[in-house]
Chain A
Amino acid sequence: MTQADTILREPADLGDQASPARRRLADRRWQGVVSIAVFLLIWQLIADLRLVATFSLPPFTTVVAATYDLAKSGLLWSDVSVSLMRAAIGFALAIVVGIGVGLAIGWSGAASRWLSAPMEFFRQMPPLAIYPVFLLFLGLGLRSQIAMVFWGSVWPILLNTINGCQQVDTTLTKAARSYGVSRWQMFTKVVLPSAVPVISTGVRLGGTYALLVLVGAEMIGAQNGIGFLILNSQNTLEVPDMYAGILVLACLGLILNFVLLRLEKRITRWRLHA
């Protein structure tokens, strides 16, 4: 190895010289795992060293144990399953209505012009704030919870669908027109495929809101479910159970987002994700 070779080598290039351990640290997934592990370690230390009252922040290990106990007793699964059921129904409804109505409005130029102002208005209303309206109409129980989830998740889907239909690249529509497409052909062969990435982003956003809204609704007006578990645990001073619920909720959110993201990438294979 000459002097010149050493000078020319990029400082950031680990190359074959670096140890396997150092190379692994540069891998993004490992970085994710390591950083979470460090965070958990800090949590454990803060709790064990009693820097914060153990009552308010039990150690991570205690929370894990509580989660395990809940799982073993079947309580965890009964809460999770009922929450998932409510969220799934509301979300599925939001997808069907959001995309269906969105496409219809996107197809009709006049409809989107007239409806855009009221839609923007309704979308701004926080779902939890109008929960009482749902309670009035649908009473306490499954129907109002599903309605809440629907309301919370339909808006990003609906608005993204309309947006996607309206923001097609004009060069593409010009090219299509030069080949003599009918209005229907333009919509199905150009507008729709072009809108798919925007729509699927809206669906992913809707999924996030669905879980969010559901937990809130369960805290206010339900007798079971993860939201109920979290709030009830706090009320009955079962603090580790409360954190267990939060942990499980966070994991559910991650899984849902991951699944929707994978779906989105499959549908938009043509975009060549970096």
Chain B
Amino acid sequence: MIRQSLSPQPVGAKTETVNTADPVPAAVPKLSIDCVCRTFAAVGKQGSATVALENVSLDVREGEFVSIIGPSGCGKSTLLEIVGGLQDPTSGRILVDGIPTTGPGPERAIIFQTYALFPWRTVVSNVAFPLEVSKVPKAEREALAAEALRLVGLSEFRAHYPAQLSGGMRQRVAIARAFIRDPDILLMDEPFGALDAITRELLQEQLSTLHREQRKTVVFITHSVSEAVRLSDRVVVLGIQPGRVVGSFALPRTDEHSDLAQRERDYSDVRDELWNLLLKHGNTATFKISG
């Protein structure tokens, strides 16, 4: 059964939607985005400041996979960077396990669309980078890096350079690097956007598996409605100018429905709702028709 909010939420309201079959959620959400605003000051002779994000609030439960979807320029990446600690919000705060954050931390790992691998380092050296920064001893670093590479299936490529790998492989290295400090929260900024359709599907499967097995909390930004519906427990829609939450949809758990047809109907209901909301709030030219 799906509960969904059809109309834009009033500014400032939390938009958490509860699936009726859920167990009672934990008292403290794993990740809490609390009334975050982000304004960029006017540059030069530009008229006024740009409000990138306005009163965005979102609670994410432990182990939940939340996708954030929205038109280009709606502030999704800015929001992710704020959650990751790379930018400070103009107002509002980010809480992890109820504690406000001050900058980046080992419990949150970011994965970028362009992989962000250091081209002068080998695969294993890239994966071990976060541990190097934390001054972990070499033997331990190597063991953990080997394990992370095994997780993504790239052990034989440890001595290669990123330039020698395909896009999909580079992203898997980035995922291995993100996993190496065993973060609780994964922040992914359109991670499969630069890949071809086949690789994307394969990596979506692998991510789904990793998410289930490792029980990570994931915040996933995407342009693709079908990707969001396929991977997530919940999809949040961000509007544009200013960026604020305009809708939130929970998705049926796959183990709940034995009836495939019913499951398909539910998914397409959500897809339709998502599309309606996106068309209403954004620039249609920016969307891939892959739903």
A, B in one complex: yes
Binding site for B on A (CB under 8 A): 171-172, 174-181, 185, 189-190, 193-194, 196, 268-272
A263 to chain B, nearest CB (A): 16
Query: Knowing A179-B133, A180-B106 touch, does A196 contact B112 (C-beta < 8 A)?
Result: no
In the complex, are the beta carbons of A185 and B116 less than 8 A apart?
no
Kindly identify which residue among A178, A268, A272 contacts B84, using a CB–CB cutoff of 8 Å. Answer: A178
Query: Knowing A178-B110, A180-B104 touch, does A193 contact B134 (C-beta < 8 A)?
Result: no
18 A–B contacts, CB within 8 A, in A order: A172-B116, A172-B118, A174-B86, A174-B110, A174-B116, A178-B104, A178-B109, A178-B110, A179-B104, A179-B129, A179-B130, A180-B133, A189-B129, A193-B118, A194-B120, A270-B120, A270-B163, A272-B161
List residues of chain A with CB within 8 A of the CB of B142: none
Question: Which B residue sits closest to A194, measured CB to CB?
Answer: B120
A186 to chain B, nearest CB (A): 10
Instruction: Let me know if B85 is at the binding interface, CB within 8 A.
Output: yes
Instruction: Let me know if B114 is at the binding interface, CB within 8 A.
Output: yes
In the complex, are the beta carbons of B86 and A196 less than 8 A apart?
no
Instruction: Let me know if B164 is at the binding interface, CB within 8 A.
Output: yes
List residues of chain A with CB within 8 A of the CB of B120: 193-194, 196, 268, 270
Instruction: Let me know if B119 is at the binding interface, CB within 8 A.
Output: yes
Question: Which B residue sits closest to A181, measured CB to CB?
Answer: B133
A141 to chain B, nearest CB (A): 43
B103 to chain A, nearest CB (A): 8
Question: Which A residue sits closest to B110, measured CB to CB?
Answer: A178
List residues of chain A with CB within 8 A of the CB of B163: 270-272
Instruction: Let me know if B105 is at the binding interface, CB within 8 A.
Output: yes
Binding site for A on B (CB under 8 A): 81, 84-86, 103-106, 108-110, 112, 114, 116, 118-121, 129-130, 132-134, 161-164
List residues of chain B with CB within 8 A of the CB of A270: 119-121, 161-163
List residues of chain A with CB within 8 A of the CB of B81: 174
Question: Which A residue sits closest to B132, measured CB to CB?
Answer: A189
In the complex, are the beta carbons of B104 and A272 less than 8 A apart?
no
CA distance A234 to B130 in the complex (A): 64
Kindly identify which residue among A178, A185, A272 contacts B86, using a CB–CB cutoff of 8 Å. Answer: A178
A183 to chain B, nearest CB (A): 12
Query: Knowing A271-B119, A272-B164 touch, does A178 contact B85 (C-beta < 8 A)?
Result: yes
- Residue picked from A176, A179, A193, A272, most chain B C-beta under 10 Å: A179
List residues of chain A with CB within 8 A of the CB of B121: 193, 270
Query: Knowing A179-B129, A193-B118, A193-B120 touch, does A174 contact B112 (C-beta < 8 A)?
Result: yes
Kindly identify which residue among B106, B112, B162 contacts A175, using a CB–CB cutoff of 8 Å. Answer: B112
B112 to chain A, nearest CB (A): 6
CA distance A176 to B84 in the complex (A): 12
- Residue picked from B118, B134, B164, most chain A C-beta under 10 Å: B118
List residues of chain A with CB within 8 A of the CB of B116: 171-172, 174-175
List residues of chain B with CB within 8 A of the CB of A272: 161, 163-164
- Residue picked from B85, B129, B162, most chain A C-beta under 10 Å: B129
